[in-house]
Amino acid sequence: MSAPTDPVIRVRDLRYRYPDGVEALRGVSFDLHPGETVALLGANGSGKTTFLLHLVGLLQGEGEVEICGRRLTRDALGFARERIGVLFQDSDDQLFMPTVAEDVAFGPRNAQMAADEVDRRVAYGLREVSVEELRDRAPHHLSAGQKRRVALAGLLALEPEILLLDEPATFLDPPSRKELVEVLRSLDHAQILVTHDIPLALALADRAVFFEKGRVAAEGSVAELVERYDWR
């Protein structure tokens, strides 16, 4: 039996109330372990997005959040954001440079890495998502599926430990969706998948967490939770 590993994300009794009085999180506890993919399921307004915003320090409620063993405080925001990559639902929100290679290089350059290290990171990111042939293309000329993989390459170039995926298959046709699933399954990063797309969750997630009214109502396999809550 392998030894247990410490979680890369550890949350305990997280609570948050918006200024208008809405109680969005009501004592959420959660662990994400290295190499694990967890789907966050639940209706709109159940607390999933508020929860994610706490993981990257955009909101700060009551309770404890640890990222890679370090308590998430204002002083630790840089540390946490180096370890978490966020893939947005709309890739156009992440792609803005003249070429694919420049887009993938943006993060490493912004981190003031040496030129040879930037080149290494770009090659790594493009290779991991199988888009090397697109490096000199303009991102706005790409298909939705290609854009999604290029956006992911830009995250991987920063070598995060954790990926947060917000409805990553939105706007993708079936072939592009299949390619994205294959890429995500090939990665060894810990991943949190926020989605209403049950087939996608079934294809990617090791387990699922069901949010309801700001609480974690249940945990289990995707199939178990879909059947229990009749949630489609």
CA distance 46 to 154: 30
HSE toward the beta carbon, residue 94, CA cutoff 13 A? 24
Average pLDDT, the chain: 93
Please give the domain boundaries of the chain with CATH numbers for all domains. Answer: 9-229 (3.40.50.300)
Whether 132 has a pLDDT exceeding 60, the answer reads yes
Whether 4 has a pLDDT exceeding 60, the answer reads no
Residue type, 125: G
Whether 2 has a pLDDT exceeding 50, the answer reads no
Average pLDDT, stretch 138-155? 94
Whether 39 has a pLDDT exceeding 50, the answer reads yes
Residue 16: partners with Cβ closer than 8 Å, 6 or more residues away: 23, 24, 25, 50, 54, 59, 61, 62
Contact status, residue 142 vs residue 99, Cβ threshold 8 Å: no
